[in-house]
Amino acid sequence: MTVKTNYFKKEERLCSKKLLDELFKNGSSFLLYPFRVTWLISPDSQQAFPAQVVIAVPKKRFKHSVDRNLIKRRIREAYRLHKSTVFYPALQDNGKKILLALSYVGTKAHDFSFIEKKLKAVFAECLKKVEA
């Protein structure tokens, strides 16, 4: 029996200020409630993973940090569980590497199953846009 482990390593997170500036200046975006997704084909060909992601929950909508952290944890967990089934293989087949920003624009903290379902839809939409 093989055990499949899903990681969300440091290299998969988008931390570089230079790349973040590039993403938000030149990236394309779309809205799929409760996410605003900004993406850009990566200028760095040496990127270790097919996608680097940053997750943002605004302080303007969620004043308490516990609420922001709860939403970020749910998004990270859904991303971690579903990236290797659809998202990464499709990007690798196309030979693309992307930068991705997931901004939560919802006004309430949704449960995990809702976030998970919407994140799968985000993956599908993002793959459509990248392939086009």
How much is the pLDDT for 46? 84
> Which among 57, 69, 73, 63 has a CA at the least distance from the CA of 106?
57
Phi, psi (deg, nearest 5) at residue 127:
-65, -35
How much is the pLDDT for 44? 79
Q: What is the mean pLDDT of each run of 10 residues along the chain (132 residues)?
A: 74 95 96 97 87 97 97 97 92 93 96 97 96 84
Q: Which SS3 state, helix, strand or coil, does residue 27 take?
A: coil
How much is the pLDDT for 4? 62
pTM of the model as a whole: 0.92
